[in-house]
Amino acid sequence: MSFGTSRPTHPLILDDIRGARKMLSGVARMTAMEGSRYLTQLVGSPVHFKCENLQRTGSFKLRGAYVRIAGLSPEERAAGVVAASAGNHAQGVALASTLLGVRSTVFMPVGAPLPKVAATRDYGADVRLHGQVVDETLAAAQEYARDTGAVFIHPFDHPDIIAGQGTVGLEILEQCPEVRTILVGVGGGGLIAGVALAVKTVRPDVQVIGVQAEGAAAYPPSLDAGRPVTVAGTPQTMADGIKVGRPGDVPFQLVRELVDEVRTVSEDELASALLLCLERAKLVVEPAGASPVAALLSDPGAFRGPVVAVLSGGNVDPVLMQRILRHGMSAAGRYLSLRLRVTDRPGALATMLQVLSVADANVLDVSHVRTDPRLGLAEADVELHLETKGPVHCTEVATALREAGYTILG
């Protein structure tokens, strides 16, 4: 199959996706389908994870990038390719280009996580750091394409890209033929457009539902307007893989026609979903990749089962992972921060810590405040950061402190 540059906006059909699958044989893995006992109990019907976080390069992006580059003419290949990305697309383009013997240049933001920059270089790309935000990086890549003749590889707005991503949908139907609902994280729309086309053509009864982060939800207003529109302001979300301000023109057509619904999830729900994947499923998933799980956690009764949640990526920066896990544990009631008023005398802190020990709360950090003008001469405030076992345990710890005579200020 080869669209080249002659069909940039031609509607796709199922045969295009089947052709992409043949092209990807031996290149992209058929990723695992794993059941989730916890979510199955929560939803009341079987829930499975389609683990694209275990794909080569750590995300589904290799599929579309390979199909797009493989479809270039000999002249286009000779000119090389260029892409702009903060992570997953960069790595997909780099590896696909190397496998096909095509020179690749990838522009990444100056602040891109070092592991992602290093991985993109290791896959064979010439990495150039430019711009503080992705829009500036994208402009630099497009300018490079104009100046050098290199082919710009868009992350989602091209039929070849969508055809490659659509192979995920074919695999889902084979691995879980009884599926009734598929949840997919949505940024520009390339993945869900391809999955929806593959699935709805074969099984129109299956619901395909998109999930976006509240702070970067371009699809709901675009669907209401009947055309792609740009979200107001700069998209704000920890889920950088779906942090896109405007839907792609090509995927939007397919999403509007084939996708049943696009939902949004909060940052707390994303953090809790990432934590669940790590603790319960032993899967490292980035916030964007965990967005379908966040939708299940936020409204478990809304989906017909069996449900397949596509875990679309696992490339998360370790520093960001640490912050997200802390946030997720806090959202799940696993952290408790308190400020107490105590008598400032020898042994007071030890007595308070004994109460916490009996309540089985783990003290992560403690600090005294003695200089606040609101304090009496013999008073001090103590700030506590505790690790707890959940919301019920938080309540039990607070109750134990109050019963011991401590005033909780906040």
Q: How far apart are CA 48 and CA 50, in angstroms?
A: 7
Closest CA to 48 of 177, 163, 162: 177
Q: Decide: residue 145, CB within 10 A, 0-12 exposed, 13-18 middle, 19+ buried.
A: buried
Which positions are catalytic? 61, 312
Owner of token pair 């891109």: 112
CA atoms within 13 Å, Cβ hemisphere of 371: 1
Find out whether 130 and 107 touch, Cβ atoms under 8 Å.
yes
CA–CA dist 166, 189 (Å, integer): 11
Among 19, 245, 51, 237, residue whose Cα is nearest residue 138:
245
